A and B are shown apart, each in its own frame.
Chain A
């Protein structure tokens, strides 16, 4: 009789920039700089956007953890 072990679902991390949001699996353990590189196009991340995890500023070497929410905060629009 075999015992079935339920696989733990892969934790998704929410990443946001401006109006755009993605919830992705496989980001836990990755550095912010790698995530930025991976998602620059899909989230339209500008070079001068600063990274915040759960409201606190983090540097590009920060490694994402399970409960993190990452936001690349765009500077406010300047023109009108």
Chain B
């Protein structure tokens, strides 16, 4: 199994803590499990309010180093790059399970469009505002869309993104503009992992799910 985690910020580092334990102990596979961590951003001291990391440096490399030290079965590789239209062919490939934990719709569109060119791929994307968020699941199997792409008509904010790609604006700027809390990041990460588990059990049949931490409600939606 090849897993890509794109974005190692608030959602990504919450998700990785549980994913690592799950892959290490709960997944029955004789093959080694490889997890690629992809992020061009750097950890800074202010990130420690919401993100789990052991030292400053490139997010993907720092996390890969930390998890390789403690994992026996899972092999982590850190890629210190943002996903762009130039490198997406290299990083999003046939058979991947992609956890998309980024902070901009421009990258969500890039990854969804790239996944749409592949025959078999799973993209589980999460995003949040202050106290709510959602996940979207795009599954392609045998060259067919099993669930809707992230860029479906229901989400024009992704199909026609108005925000900037991180190469044009650092995460620091985005965080300064709009505050976040780790509890919402964790709720979204948890919903993404629920979807991953349902996929492994072959029972994943919804296109997206919404989470609200104030009402403690969660709602899954089938839009096809």
Contacts and interface: CB of A to CB of B under 8 A. Distances in A.
A40 interface: no
B134 A20 contact: no
Given A76-B134, A80-B12, A20 B212 contact: yes
Q: Is the interface of A mostly helix, strand, loop or mixed?
A: loop
A74 B178 contact: no
Q: Is the interface of B mostly helix, strand, loop or mixed?
A: mixed
B7 interface: yes
B198 interface: no
Nearest to B217: A19
Interface string A29-63: 00000000000000010000000100101000000
Contacts, number: 81
Contacts of B218: 19
Contacts of B149: none
A17 B101 CA distance: 23
B212 A44 contact: yes
Given A79-B103, A80-B188, A19 B210 contact: yes
Instruction: Give the contact-size bracket for chain A.
Output: 10 to 19
Given A18-B210, A73-B154, A75-B155, A80 B127 contact: yes
Nearest to B209: A19
Interface in A1-43: 16, 18-21
Contact of B101 (A44, A74, A80): A80
A80 B157 contact: no
B102 A18 contact: no
B129 A78 contact: yes
Interface residues of B, number: 42
B9 interface: yes
Interface string B92-115: 000000000111110010000000
A74 B128 CA distance: 11
B46 interface: no
B40 interface: no
A20 B213 CA distance: 11
Contacts of B105: 76, 78
Nearest to A48: B157
Given A19-B215, A19-B218, A20-B212, A77 B134 contact: yes
A20 B9 CA distance: 27
A19 B212 contact: yes
A76 B103 contact: no
Contacts of A78: 103-105, 127, 129, 157, 163
B120 to A, nearest CB: 24
B175 to A, nearest CB: 8
B123 interface: no
Given A18-B219, A79-B128, 9 more contacts: A19-B215, A21-B219, A76-B127, A76-B136, A77-B134, A77-B188, A78-B103, A80-B12, A80-B102
